[in-house]
Amino acid sequence: MQPERAELPRRSYVGTGSLLVAVGGAAASQAAMMTGAFGHPTWLRVLAAGFEAATVGGVADWFAVTAIFRHPLGLPFPHTWWVPLPRLGSWP
């Protein structure tokens, strides 16, 4: 029996917040580079690349974790099965 949605414990929103910061930072840094607000300094390109990498990594992690437990975006990917590991005391 699964608990109702309202009965589930509060989950941490750190991942969602981090992904939103990454997307917002990527958008802001791209906008700054396109408008030339700061000129074209190297640090802005490095900052933009970091935000883009964080966005891609965050979306990939979300998709991977979602694919383990349910069908992401309604796509019928086969679920992975947990590999049973031997107990710590049973190693040869």
Ranges 2-11, 21-30, 32-41, 49-58: which has the least confidence: 2-11
Q: Taking all residues of the chain, what is their mean pLDDT, rounded to a whole number? A: 77
Angle of helix 42-69 relative to helix 14-35, nearest 10 degrees, comes to: 150
As a whole number, mean pLDDT of residues 38-43 equals 85
pLDDT at 15: 80
Residue 92 has which token pair? Answer: 């040869």
Say if residue 88 is exposed, middle or buried (CB neighbours under 10 Å; 0-12, 13-18, 19+): exposed
DSSP H or E segment with residue 13: none
